[in-house]
Amino acid sequence: MLNTSNLRSLYTKIQDQLFYLIPEKWDRIYLYSAITERKSDVQTGEMFFYYFPKGILKKNVVNVYEVPIKFNIDEKSYNKLIDKLYDTIKQLRKEFEKQGERLWSSLTISICDLKFNVEYDYENLQSSPYNSYDRHIIWKYKNLKYPIDKFSKTERNMLEKYLWEEQFNKRDKQTYSEGMYKKKVHNIIEYDREEQDKGIYYEEDNSKKEVQGEILDKYELYKRKKAKEDKINDHIEDKEENKKRNQILNY
């Protein structure tokens, strides 16, 4: 499986974008995305993802597209952030193309127990007997462990047909997994609380003139803030490491 610095950088970007979009503590995240090449180099695709809230009591899985209503977030702004996440996934596929690797048609990302997992699927979606809606149902059943009796009769019949066929069809897949460090990542609710009513503008590097009316989007501001925090944390870690090294040398 392809593993380059550019690829790892994109994995980290996807993680940060996912964490930012989830406005509460979570236990597990699952995402599906598909990209299909059509005639004249036109791409079509889809993406959906869910998370399991963290808590003592068992909570229902949350569809991320329900977040704006549930947490009173501006839906238009939130959907723009989701679009940026999908753009990053397209960049991920582009990286495979640049490296001369076989292009996958869909992927499933799961984040659980400090593990980041990606499963790449190479099925030809254009010739698949299952449409986008079917794939969503199948994916929910397999990844979110939805009880089969929660689906409609038509959906159950489709699922049973798929599961029977899967016994005889070997899926063409590749997987990637990496460990993750615990890190504090602000989410969109925390950011709104901290940045409300600030009207932040950016300046051009050369002229130092304020660009009137050009407000940085929330995710860009979040990235800048995170970069500052990472720099401070790295400095603290370096001091601690030097202290330990001196203790060893002194001994």
Is the pLDDT assigned to residue 206 strictly greater than 60?
no
Compute the average pLDDT of residues 110-123.
94
Per-residue pLDDT at 223: 64
- Which segment of 14-18, 116-120, 132-136, 230-234 scores lowest on mean pLDDT? 230-234
Question: What span, in angstroms and rounded, lies between the C-alpha atoms of 27 and 39?
Answer: 41
CA dihedral sign, ordered 69, 75, 81, 87: positive
Compute the average pLDDT of residues 136-150.
93
Q: What is the pLDDT of residues 65-97, one digit of tens each?
A: 999 999 999 999 999 999 999 999 999 999 999
Per-residue pLDDT at 55: 83
Is the pLDDT assigned to residue 154 strictly greater than 70?
yes
Per-residue pLDDT at 212: 36
Q: Which of 224, 204, 222 is nearest to 214 (CA)?
A: 204
Looking at CATH, the fold of the domain delimited by 5-123+171-188 is given as 3.30.500
Buried b (16+ CB within 10 A) or exposed e, 67-93: bbeebebeeeebeebbebbeebbeebb
Per-residue pLDDT at 56: 74
- Which segment of 8-12, 20-24, 161-165, 187-191 scores lowest on mean pLDDT? 187-191
Question: What span, in angstroms and rounded, lies between the C-alpha atoms of 139 and 146?
Answer: 10
Q: What is the pLDDT of residues 30-66, one digit of tens each?
A: 999 999 876 656 667 899 999 999 987 778 899 999 9
> In the numeric block, which tokens belong to residue 146?
């939805």
% the chain with pLDDT above 90: 55
Give Cβ neighbours of residue 34 (< 8 Å, ≥ 6 apart).
45, 46, 47, 105, 106, 107, 125, 132, 135
Per-residue pLDDT at 82: 95
What pTM, to 2 d.p., does this model score? 0.74
Per-residue pLDDT at 249: 35
Q: Where along the chain do its domains lie?
A: 5-123+171-188, 198-250
